[in-house]
Structure 1
Amino acid sequence: MVNWFFRRRRPPARMLRLRPRGDMGDARRVDFEELAPDVETFLGQAAYLQLGYFETLTRLIRATPELEEKEALSLAAGAALVKHRAIVDIIRDRGDEPTEIMRPFQDQLDAFRRATVGARPRETMLSVHITAGMLDDFYLALASSYGETGRRVAKVLSVGSDRQQIVELLHGTIESDEEMRSLLSLWARRLVGDTLLIARAALRPQRLGSDDEKKVEPVFTALMAAHARRMDGLGLAA
């Protein structure tokens, strides 16, 4: 089982707290096929993750009154749904039933999404931007293990995710609100840990030996480098 982020006067002080928890470069060329999960697991997880991001974003749309924000969220949600459907088509082309391929991972990945939904819309926007970015990178790295199927999935995941408007909304908040900047920075650090745990758990061995660690180290190093660039783009330190 796979187990599974312009004030003229200073406003009144707020106490913002996190709610309690209940591009890849060389990494794409790292061959760690022996550690990769079977192709059904790879496809099921990749497809359900995109569906989960679509669900999270559409819930945010309903909860957001501002039209500008609804538009930004709708673009990202649409991109996630397109990726989900494209991976579902790949599953069907292999002669498999998509719901059956995804079902074993539904509970674990839903739990991950619940753990990374923030108490505020900006936290959840950041969650999608960071976790989807890191996991898309990770599944791109895994894709080289699956021949033509992997190449098709890599092509799907390489398509833009239309999250730039979300980035701009987050950046505006970070630049104008020091308290939210601190909160989002702390939230991002939590998200990284949770996301790396999912990536580790997706690999075939339950425990990685020293030789296995050496094989995957370049991938996780690249994941963190790409994450640092995303954080820089937001105006936050990784």
Structure 2
Amino acid sequence: MSAPTTPGSAVADLLGLVALGELLAFERMAADARLAPDLRRRAALGEMAAAEIASYRRLADRLTALGVRPEDAMAPYVEALQAYHDSTQPRDWAEAVTKAYVGDAITDDFLRAITTALDEPDRCLVLDVLHESRYAEFAAAEIRSAVDADPRVAHRLSMWARRLVGEALSQANRVAAADRGALTALIAQGERVDVQALFRQLTAAHTQRMLAAGLNN
């Protein structure tokens, strides 16, 4: 079933995209937790997964309140987002936390920027479901620990992070190219979101995060 064509369909499209991202992130983190070298780290990633599914529920409830079935709002984005996760399955714990660190941060930066085109209460909702800083700090600390233990790991993780960004941008282009006119209009409406400036900001923020984790961009 296609997404609704009511005046609120742009908001529903965006909430559906965010909701699916949260749902897939939950599945990914829950599975990746098994790569943890000890129970403390396994529990930490499990807590991150729990936060993702809690955010999904808030978004799904909001979609329902808008008269939209969550599965319908999410359906147009399944192929692109699932392709990203399928093509970036981590081989070990260091790659798992790097994926959480890089992928979640880029997503958060993007959502933080485009929420300027939303009205309340949806803008507040999207901002509220962004990842807590303590999770990014945990992932960055794990990356630095892996590099300290074996400096050779830095090159591998730097290349892995570069691949994650490339895959994320590739799938983002697929989403943008899809026939989601209402969503595209929402993101680019007026001068509230400068798309070219946004991508420059995303790139600059990613570079700073890589340096903070002890990796090369």
TM-score interval for Structure 1 and Structure 2 normalised by the shorter chain: 0.7 to 0.9
Q: TM-score scaled by structure 2?
A: 0.80
Residue-by-residue CA offset, 1:104-129 (whole Å, 9 max, x unaligned):
22232111111122222221221121
Distance in 1, Cα, partners of 2:53 & 2:178: 31
Is 2:12–2:73's contact at 8 Å kept on the other side of the alignment?
yes
- Match runs of 1:113-132 below 5 Å: 113-132=85-104
- CA–CA distance in 2 between the matches of 1:138 and 1:199? 11
Match of residue 147, structure 2, among 159, 171, 174:
174
How far did residue 69 of structure 1 move? 1.4
Match of 1:10 in 2: none
Alignment partner of 2:210 out of 220, 225, 231:
231
Contact persistence 1:174–1:234 (CA under 8 A): no
Instruction: Tell me, in whole angstroms, the C-alpha distance in 2 between the residues paired with 1:150 and 1:142.
Output: 12
Residue 152 of structure 1: how far off its partner (Å): 2.8
Measure, in 2, the Cα distance between the counterparts of 1:107 and 1:200: 12
Give the number of the structure whose residues are more often helix, by fraction: 2
| 2:51 counterpart residue number | 79
How far did 1:204 drift? 6.5
Is the counterpart of residue 109 in structure 1 residue 109 in structure 2? no
Question: Using the alignment, how far apart are the partners of 2:71 and 2:211 within structure 1?
Answer: 38
What TM-score, normalized by structure 1, do the two folds share? 0.73
Distance (whole Å) between structure 1 residues aligned to residue 109 and residue 59 of structure 2: 15
Counterpart in the other structure of 1:184: 157
What's the CA shift for 1:237?
Answer: 2.1
- Relative distance call for 1:123 and 1:129 in structure 2 (3 A) is same
Shift of 1:223: 0.8
Query: Percentage identity across aligned positions?
Result: 27
Change in Cα spacing, 1:82 to 1:154, as seen in structure 2 (3 Å) is: same
1-side partners of 2:79 and 2:128: how far apart? 24
How far does residue 205 in structure 1 lie from its aligned partner after superposition?
Answer: 7.8
2:176 corresponding residue in structure 1 = 203
Looking at CA atoms only, which structure, 1 or 2, has the larger radius of gyration? 1
Paired residues in the alignment total: 197
Secondary structure of 2:194's aligned partner: helix
Q: Which residue of 2 aligns with 1:151?
A: 123
SS at match of 1:147: coil
Q: Distance in 2 between matches of 1:43 and 1:69?
A: 31
d(CA) in 1 for partners of 2:94 and 2:35? 12
Structure 2 residues without counterparts, runs of 5 or longer? 1-8
Deviations 1:165-217 (A, max 9, x none): 222112100122122111001111111111223334443688x9xxx8x9311
Please say which of residues 190-199 and 175-184 is displaced more in the overlay: 190-199
2:194 to 193, 203, 215: 215
- Report the Cα offset of residue 162 of structure 1: 4.0
Question: Bigger CA drift: 110-119 or 147-156?
Answer: 147-156
Larger displacement relative to structure 2 (148-157 or 223-232): 148-157
Aligned-partner residue type, residue 216 of structure 1: V
The partner residue of 1:94 within 52, 59, 66 is 66
SS of equivalent residue, structure 1 residue 122: helix
Stretches of structure 1 that go unaligned for 5 or more consecutive residues are: 1-36
CA-based RMSD of the aligned residues comes to 2.5
Query: Structure 1 pair 142/178, CA: closer, same or farther in 2 (3 Å)?
Result: same
CA–CA separation in structure 1 for the residues paired with 2:111 and 2:148: 32
Describe the SS at the equivalent of 1:203: helix
Does 1 or 2 have the higher relative contact order (CA < 8 Å, sep 6+)? 1
